[in-house]
């Protein structure tokens, strides 16, 4: 598999807290190939943010890597010296954050900030500025030359998020991590951002790890999807497989819950009753058991392994095991 760019291999991460170890990520495995868009779906508390900070190694001081590797181009990032890691961030791996209002330095002009992030390049200042203008144009900011002189507060939220994307793509990264980049935006702008990302991904041929809780956006944008629940991967596979033939009850019910799915006015909308289990005090067996409508006795005692069902389609549920059904 030479075209694999990022491999998360059995990654487990804990947070040490006063209440005991919080098992934020457990046995996470998935990979991102070159030039593909992988979506990570999950609700609050599923471990999305821990996953991102683990990949970038920007974790809180009480983080403990218990096991596993994060291989980027074959190299385990968790073992890399900090200096090399710093060279990687913003160059080979870039990130776009959720809140466009807080990602830019308010006292520097956009042009200055876009020139500053090219500090690794040996080009002249004028060349860097020209490149900055070109990137702004590429993300659809009209009149880019003039707008370089403006400050972040002079741009709307949607524009700022596009500038953030332009800045993330400046270094032509191999991997772009987008952490809920459209959540803070209106639906109309959300669509504009998604379409722009699709175009840019073609142009730059970078892989995108797109994190979102918005199923519609994931369905529209991604090639493959990883579904996370309470710190574990419950299902992963091709976007069509996941949305048309989900093999984990959580995925299936999550899709059912999306009101975008229900065309006629419904008196009662589907929900998933119950709460995400306490990560500091995990129950035995399957983590979704308490909220699952198809739970079996076996689910209470044995953790279902993430197994391959079809080519590339993985799920962690006993329902997919023949012997369990009997």
Residues near other proteins, by CB under 8 A = 18, 43-44, 142, 156-159, 186-192, 194-195, 213-220, 239-240, 243-244, 253-255, 257-262, 265-273, 275
State in angstroms the smallest separation of the CB of 27 from other proteins. 23
Of 129 and 162, CB closest to other proteins: 162
Nearer to other proteins, 116 or 195 (CB): 195
Residue 199: CB partners within 8 Å, gap ≥ 6?
none
Which residue, 269 or 307, is less far from other proteins as judged by CB? 269
Residue 301, exposed/middle/buried by CB under 10 A (0-12, 13-18, 19+)? exposed
Rounded distance between C-alpha atoms, residue 35 and residue 7, angstroms: 14
Q: Which is nearer to other proteins, 2 or 188 (CB)?
A: 188
Q: How far is the CB of 184 from other proteins (least distance, A)?
A: 9
Q: How many beta carbons lie within 10 A of that of residue 43, not counting itself?
A: 15
Cβ 46 to other proteins shortest distance, Å: 9
- The answer to whether 230 touches 277, Cβ cutoff 8 Å, is yes
Measured from the CB atom, is 158 or 231 closer to other proteins?
158
As measured in angstroms, the least distance from the Cβ of 73 to other proteins is 29
With CA atoms as reference, report the closest residue to 65 among 74, 76, 73: 76
Q: Tell me how far, at minimum, the Cβ of 222 lies from other proteins, in Å.
A: 8
Whole-angstrom distance, CA of residue 241 vs CA of residue 99 = 31
Supply the DSSP string of 138-183, one letter for each residue: HTT-SSHHHHTTS-GGGS-HHHHHHHHHHHHHTT--SEEEEESTTT
**The two three-digit tokens of residue 134, written as one number:** 């070109």
> How many alpha carbons lie under 13 Å from residue 97 in its C-beta half-sphere?
10
Closest CB to other proteins among residues 71, 248: 248
Decide whether 86 or 261 has the Cβ nearer to other proteins: 261
Min CB(289)–other proteins separation in Å: 16
| Least gap, CB of 308 to other proteins (angstroms) | 21
What is the DSSP track for 101-139?
A: TSSS-TTS-HHHHHHHTTTT----HHHHHHHHHHHHHHT
Distance of CA 237 to the CA centre of its chain: 15
């Amino acid at each position: 598999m030479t075209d694999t760019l990022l491999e998360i291999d059995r990654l487990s991460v804990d947070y040490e807290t006063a209440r005991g170890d919080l098992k934020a990520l457990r046995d996470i495995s998935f990979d991102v190939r070159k030039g593909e868009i992988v979506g990570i779906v999950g609700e609050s508390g599923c471990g999305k943010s821990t996953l991102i900070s683990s990949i970038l190694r920007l974790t809180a001081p009480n983080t403990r890597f218990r096991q596993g590797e994060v291989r980027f181009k074959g190299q385990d990032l968790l073992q890399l010296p900090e200096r090399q890691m710093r060279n990687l961030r913003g160059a080979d791996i870039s990130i776009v954050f959720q809140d466009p209002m807080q990602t830019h330095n308010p006292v520097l002009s956009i042009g200055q900030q876009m020139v500053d992030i090219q500090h690794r390049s040996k080009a002249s200042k004028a060349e860097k500025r020209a490149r900055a203008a070109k990137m702004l144009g590429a993300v659809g900011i009209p009149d880019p030359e003039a707008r370089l002189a403006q400050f972040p507060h002079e741009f709307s939220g949607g524009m700022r998020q596009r500038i953030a994307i332009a800045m993330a793509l400046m270094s032509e990264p191999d991997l772009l991590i987008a952490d809920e980049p459209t959540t803070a935006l209106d639906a109309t702008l959300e669509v504009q951002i998604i379409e722009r990302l699709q175009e840019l991904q073609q142009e730059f041929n970078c892989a995108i790890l797109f994190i979102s809780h918005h199923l519609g956006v994931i369905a529209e944008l991604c090639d493959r999807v990883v579904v996370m629940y309470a710190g574990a991967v419950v299902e992963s596979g091709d976007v069509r497989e996941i949305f048309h033939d989900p093999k984990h009850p959580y995925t299936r019910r999550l899709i059912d819950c999306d009101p975008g799915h229900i065309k006629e006015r419904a008196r009662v909308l589907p929900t998933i009753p119950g709460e995400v289990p306490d990560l500091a005090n995990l129950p035995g067996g399957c983590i979704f058991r308490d909220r699952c409508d198809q739970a079996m006795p076996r689910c209470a005692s044995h953790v279902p392994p993430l197994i391959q069902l079809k080519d590339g389609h993985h799920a962690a549920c006993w329902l997919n095991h023949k012997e369990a059904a009997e």
